[in-house]
Amino acid sequence: MLWSSALETGIKLIDEQHKQLFDKADELLEANGDDKIKKILDFLASYVAKHFSDEQKLHLSVNYPKAPTHRGYHDEYIKTFKTFKEGYEKEGPTLANKIAANKIIVGWLRDHIMVHDKEFTRYYREHTPQK
């Protein structure tokens, strides 16, 4: 399990999507067959895009001042992921690609969540009425 409760933001939708991303990264690291790998990478590409778009909608819903900067990190990541995906599909689960998967998916997500998503969710909580 690559996800840990330290990564929790307290926003259910975001936490569930983050967990799903870590689960898929885990599956990718275990996968060896080309078809299986392609399926997981395709899933990740579209799920990442959906997740970022959901997060950005939340940013806008509370007029988050750092929304454009945060969006910039997402856009940059989509490019990085695309290059990584192409390499993985071409070369397969080599050690170098597995290390890249660990860094680009797991490492990036962890750092991004701990700093930028948590910064946003603090803002979100301060600007939405709490139950």
Residue ranges binding Fe ion (CB under 5 A)? 55, 117
* Least distance (Å) between residue 70 CB and Fe ion: 6
* Least distance (Å) between residue 55 CB and Fe ion: 5
Q: Which two tokens stand for residue 14?
A: 């975001």
* Least distance (Å) between residue 56 CB and Fe ion: 8
Q: Which two tokens stand for residue 66?
A: 């750092």
Q: 64 vs 84, which CB is nearer to Fe ion?
A: 64
The radius of gyration of the chain's CA atoms, rounded to the nearest angstrom, is: 15
Q: 18 vs 85, which CB is nearer to Fe ion?
A: 18
Residue 111, CA distances (Å) to 35, 73, 80, 108 in order = 30, 12, 15, 5
55 and 74 Cβ atoms separated by less than 8 Å: yes
Q: 98 vs 118, which CB is nearer to Fe ion?
A: 118
Closest residue by Cα to residue 102 from 17, 48, 28: 28
Q: 15 vs 55, which CB is nearer to Fe ion?
A: 55
* Least distance (Å) between residue 113 CB and Fe ion: 7
